Amino acid sequence: MESLTRMQAFVQVVEAGGFSAAARKAGKSKALLSKYVRDLEDELGVRLLNRTTRQLAPTEVGVAYHREAVDILQRLDDLTASVRDSHGEPRGHLRISGPRFFGDSELGGAITEFMATHPEITVDIRLDDRFVDLVEEGFDVAIRVSEPVDSSLIARRLAPFRVVCCAAPAWIAAHGRPEKPADLAGLPAIADTNARNWSHWPFVVDGERIVVPVTARLHANAPQVAATAAEAGLGVARTPWFAVRRAVEEGRLEVLLADHELRNLTVHAVYPHRRHLSAKVRVFVDFMVGWFERRRRSEPCV
């Protein structure tokens, strides 16, 4: 039991960036955490932390030990939660990762509804357009928009994700309606830089995937900005359907090249392979499956 306590103390110190910060967060004394880490180093016979008067950082061995310790502690938490939750309401703290471009406008409502349904679960959602390392960074689950996902994770399909090209009717009247993807070459475009291929737009022609280089007048890392610019007639935008759906329905934008859209993007809930899946993760993923299903009936392809 002492080894586990020392391990927890080491993880807390590394993740807080120092003994003082870890002590405040854990509600323990700095001296006690320092003793636990020192005892752990003595037990293992190695130095886990490099200490100076200005900073503290794990050694190479410490980095490897921290990675494995986080996984061990998470597995223990999952096992404890699984046993407890089998006899009551799921509870605990749930850390969720999601893409900023999608989370700002789409996931907030889902998270709020989930928390109302499960009052014993607290949530920390972090929006970031990079793919985080769930295990390394301590996340329970991530919502991702991607093609087929990392096989080291368990993925639950939530919904298809549509990305469309669109432009304002006045722009189409002035420049003509592109009939094939190659017609976009040389035309003014609006780049949604959340997409990995923002400067080379992918399409399907005769069953084959092709890319068309585009010349962007505007670069924006927010789909709503790209949609607004397209409405203003600045060019063709390629952006998620959810950002332009209302404008298309109201006639402010028109979808272009619909027959050549890629159809392989999907919204997934992903989480690490674990022997004991905690109830808080299980109920969250199940909830998101149902939430997206309801959305899909009213607003196809997200």
Helix, strand, coil percentages in the chain from 3-state DSSP, rounded to 5: 45, 25, 30
Q: Which pLDDT does position 107 carry in this prediction?
A: 83
Tokens of 79: 């096992």
Taken in order 118, 119, 121, 127, the sign of the CA dihedral is positive
Report how far residue 17's alpha carbon sits from residue 300's, in angstroms, rounded to the nearest whole number: 45
Average pLDDT over residues 286-301: 79
pLDDT above 70 covers what percent of the chain?
90
| Segments making up each domain of the chain, as ranges | 2-84, 89-159+265-298, 163-260
pLDDT at 124 over 90: yes
Q: Which pLDDT value is given to residue 81?
A: 65
pTM for this entry: 0.64
Architecture of the domain whose range is 163-260: 3-Layer(aba) Sandwich (3.40)
| Residue 49 predicted with pLDDT over 70 | yes
- Can you name the CATH fold of 2-84? Arc Repressor Mutant, subunit A (1.10.10)
Whether the per-residue pLDDT at 15 is higher than 70: the answer is yes
Does the pLDDT of residue 129 top 80, yes or no?
A: no
Q: Output the DSSP codes for 185-218.
A: TTSEEEEETTSTTTTEEEEEETTEEEEEE-EEEE
Averaged pLDDT, 273-300: 80
Q: What is the mean pLDDT of residues 41-66?
A: 87
pLDDT at 110 over 70: yes
Q: What is the pLDDT of residues 206-240, one digit of tens each?
A: 989 999 999 898 999 888 899 999 999 999 999 99
Q: Can you name the CATH fold of 89-159+265-298? A: D-Maltodextrin-Binding Protein; domain 2 (3.40.190)
Instruction: Please determine whether the domains at 2-84 and 163-260 fall in the same fold group of CATH.
Output: no
Question: Hey, what are 228's tokens?
Answer: 């607004």
